Amino acid sequence: MRRKVGKVRFGLYATPSFRDLAEERWTFIAYDQARDHLPQQAWLHQLRGNRSVVFAASDLASQQMAARLDVGAVVLPTIVGDQDSPLVRLPVSTEGPTRDVWLAVYPDLRRSPAVKVVMDFLVDCIQAEPLLG
């Protein structure tokens, strides 16, 4: 069984110093090319055009740390980026993509009282978070 329980939204983030730079001088942090199929990666490539990707990593935490160190602008889930005080959301011409959040459980476990309590708790937490609704 699976159930859609929310959405993750994405934005472009960098240190506040990037807001003072002309957009054509922005550099970017991305996933490696193996993840070019991801909507957030495609959006980053659309935004950057011919501008440089100066750091690529296969995990989001490394990308976020690089952005904190002023390496470049990075696409982050808004629930992450908006809570990261060293970073600010950059103004861009197009809205970031969204990705659905799904809750999945093996069919033989979904009727278990303990599993049902955990699933209900997770759904409540996700739906109560305004950045995931």
| CATH code, domain carrying 54 | 3.40.190.10
CA distance to 24, 77, 104, 118, per residue, from 9 (Å): 25, 6, 20, 24
Does residue 58 form part of some domain?
Answer: yes
Q: What pLDDT digit, counting tens, does each position of 64-84 carry?
A: 999 999 999 999 999 999 999
Q: What percent of the chain has pLDDT over 90?
A: 63
**Quick check: is 125 in a domain?**
no
Range of the domain at 48: 7-99
User: Does a structural domain hold residue 70?
Assistant: yes
**127 falls within a domain:** no
Tell me, yes or no, whether 73 lies in a domain: yes
In a domain, 43, yes or no: yes
Q: How many domains does the chain have?
A: 1
- The residues, any chain, with a CB within 8 Å of residue 88's CB and separated by 6 or more, are 13, 14, 15, 16, 18, 19
What pLDDT digit, counting tens, does each position of 89-120 carry?
Answer: 999 999 999 999 898 999 888 888 898 898 88
